[in-house]
Amino acid sequence: MKTTRYFEEQVLPRRPYIQREWCQQAIQEPFRKETQPDGRIRHWIYIEALSKYLRVVTLEDGETILNAFPDRNFNPEEP
């Protein structure tokens, strides 16, 4: 799994409950996937342990993880 320095040094220390396996699963089997205007890609997956959807943001390559967080505004009903 490829990650950015930002993910390793800023995201994971701030959110130690996030498991790398969840991030990998979000990339491989997303509930929803969306490309941002800047080319980065958002991947969402429901995490039972959190009872929330996790948003994982990758760089344009779709593999390198930049950010991950529980997305409290995600609505699975919206297209």
pLDDT, average across residues 53-71: 98
The pLDDT score that the predictor gives to residue 20 is 98
Dist. CA 31–CA 33, nearest whole Å: 7
The pLDDT score that the predictor gives to residue 79 is 76
The pLDDT score that the predictor gives to residue 78 is 86
Residues 57 and 65 sit within 8 Å (Cβ to Cβ):
yes
Over residues 9-35, the pLDDT tens digits come to: 999 999 999 999 999 999 999 999 999
Dist. CA 18–CA 41, nearest whole Å: 19
Cα dihedral: 29, 31, 36, 40 (round 10): -20
pTM of the predicted protein model: 0.94
pLDDT, average across residues 48-61: 97
